[in-house]
């Protein structure tokens, strides 16, 4: 516990020591929005973090697992296991935007390990880990709710960092909070997860993650890094994604990124230096809102504001490029 508190302190101070890398699980609904792919690339480039498992979340989780496996294989990181989460069956076309990118990809031929029961693999990993684990949740959380039902003790061995909610700002930096997608898809599952006794809960809501993108020289440096296998896989999949989406304007894909919601959650797993964190007590409504409430049943540390957003954009660019 003392070691974990030290790591949290160092993270808050912005100078996380990583002589011992922190074990991490990524719980992701990759394959709908492209920001999950950006977050995965960022995670692979984060030396503070040791990615132990990528668990696919919500909808057709086998389709999502193909994306993860192809990305990891292209990046030369097939040492990382892939877990298939609760499979909820086929998804609409506008939620399956990377199908052409994984057409013909055989998940059975992934050089690494694929866990058919990803939730069981998650529980086993956490319970056997000699160190506390960080779960980075960048999608709805039915996998985590199910894992807690199977083994409630996992919460006490983990920190949770989530991309969830909307408190003071909504989509597009609106002054009105929104029913944020990762909450709205399964509010009951999120309530189950937030009620668990995690070592720490840290959230990035739309207030901070909803205003992050890369453009100009920052984006151009990523777009041109085709010699880099991680970034080549990212840009190739982005080129497939952009023409297919009908719920956001992507005619700019050669000049800037989409909103990189999930990259903020990955950042918060190793540093909080560039954000302003406050404890918030709140409720989760059935229609997908996270509403402040003094009597609310849930409490988390929440990244409500940036203290230097341009510095984060520069940091993210350098990190994706593999530069210190």
Sequence ranges of the domains in the chain = 2-14+26-320
* Inter-residue contact 83 to 54 (CB < 8 Å): yes
Q: Quick one: fold of 2-14+26-320?
A: Inosine-uridine Nucleoside N-ribohydrolase; Chain A (3.90.245)
Rounded distance between C-alpha atoms, residue 141 and residue 144, angstroms: 5
Looking at residue 101, what is its pLDDT? 97
**Could you tell me which residues come within 8 angstroms of residue 24 by beta carbon, excluding any fewer than 6 positions away?**
43, 49, 50, 51, 52, 133, 134, 135, 136, 269
* pLDDT, tens only, 179-189: 999 999 999 99
Among the listed ranges 136-140, 223-227, 231-235, which one has the minimum average pLDDT value? 223-227
* pLDDT, tens only, 156-169: 999 999 999 999 99
Looking at residue 247, what is its pLDDT? 73
Looking at residue 11, what is its pLDDT? 41
Looking at residue 19, what is its pLDDT? 56
Percent of the chain topping pLDDT 90: 87
Paired strand residues for 27: 55, 137
* pLDDT, tens only, 46-95: 999 999 999 999 999 999 999 999 999 999 999 999 999 999 988 888 78
Rounded distance between C-alpha atoms, residue 260 and residue 201, angstroms: 21
How far from chain centre, in Å, is Cα 257?
Answer: 17
What 3-state class would DSSP assign to 255?
coil
Question: Could you report how far apart the first and last alpha carbons of the chain are, in Å?
Answer: 29
Smallest CA-to-CA distance from 197 within 160, 159, 162, 156 is with 156
Q: Which residue in this structure is represented by tokens 């909070």? A: 177
Burial status of residue 69 (CB atoms within 10 A of its CB: 0-12, 13-18, 19 or more): buried
Smallest CA-to-CA distance from 312 within 158, 208, 197 is with 208
Looking at residue 20, what is its pLDDT? 82
Q: Is the pLDDT of residue 8 over 50?
A: no
Q: Is the pLDDT of residue 7 over 90?
A: no
Q: Is the pLDDT of residue 174 over 50?
A: yes
Q: What is the pTM of this model?
A: 0.93
Looking at residue 2, what is its pLDDT? 34
What 3-state class would DSSP assign to 221?
helix
């Amino acid at each position: 516990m003392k070691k974990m508190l030290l790591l949290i302190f160092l993270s808050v101070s912005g100078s996380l020591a990583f002589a011992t890398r922190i074990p991490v699980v990524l719980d992701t609904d990759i394959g709908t929005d492209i920001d999950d792919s950006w977050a995965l690339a960022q995670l692979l480039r984060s030396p503070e973090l040791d990615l132990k498992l990528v668990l696919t979340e919500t909808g057709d989780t086998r389709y999502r697992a193909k994306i993860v496996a192809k990305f990891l294989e292209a990046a030369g990181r097939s040492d990382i296991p892939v877990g298939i989460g609760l499979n909820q069956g086929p998804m609409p076309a506008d939620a399956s935007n990377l199908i052409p990118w994984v057409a013909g990809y055989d998940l059975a031929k992934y050089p690494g390990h694929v866990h058919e029961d990803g939730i069981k693999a998650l529980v086993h990993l956490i319970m056997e880990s000699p160190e506390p684990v960080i779960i980075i949740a960048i999608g709805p959380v039915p996998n985590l709710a199910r894992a807690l039902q199977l083994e409630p003790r996992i919460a006490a061995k983990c920190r949770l960092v989530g991309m969830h909610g909307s408190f003071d700002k909504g989509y597009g930096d609106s002054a009105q909070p929104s029913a944020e997608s990762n909450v709205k898809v399964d509010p009951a599952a999120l309530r189950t997860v937030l009620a668990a006794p995690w070592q720490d809960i840290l959230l990035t809501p739309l207030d901070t993650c909803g205003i992050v993108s890369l453009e100009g020289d920052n984006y151009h440096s990523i777009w041109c890094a085709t010699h880099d296998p991680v970034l080549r896989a990212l840009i190739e999949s982005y080129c497939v994604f952009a023409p297919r989406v009908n719920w956001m304007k992507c005619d700019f894909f050669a000049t800037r990124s989409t909103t990189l919601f999930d990259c903020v959650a990955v950042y918060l797993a190793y540093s909080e230096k560039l954000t302003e964190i406050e404890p918030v007590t709140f409720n989760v409504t059935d229609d997908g809102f996270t509403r402040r409430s003094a009597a609310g049943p849930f409490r988390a540390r929440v990244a409500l504001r940036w203290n230097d957003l341009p510095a984060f954009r520069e940091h993210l660019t350098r990190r994706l490029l593999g530069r210190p």
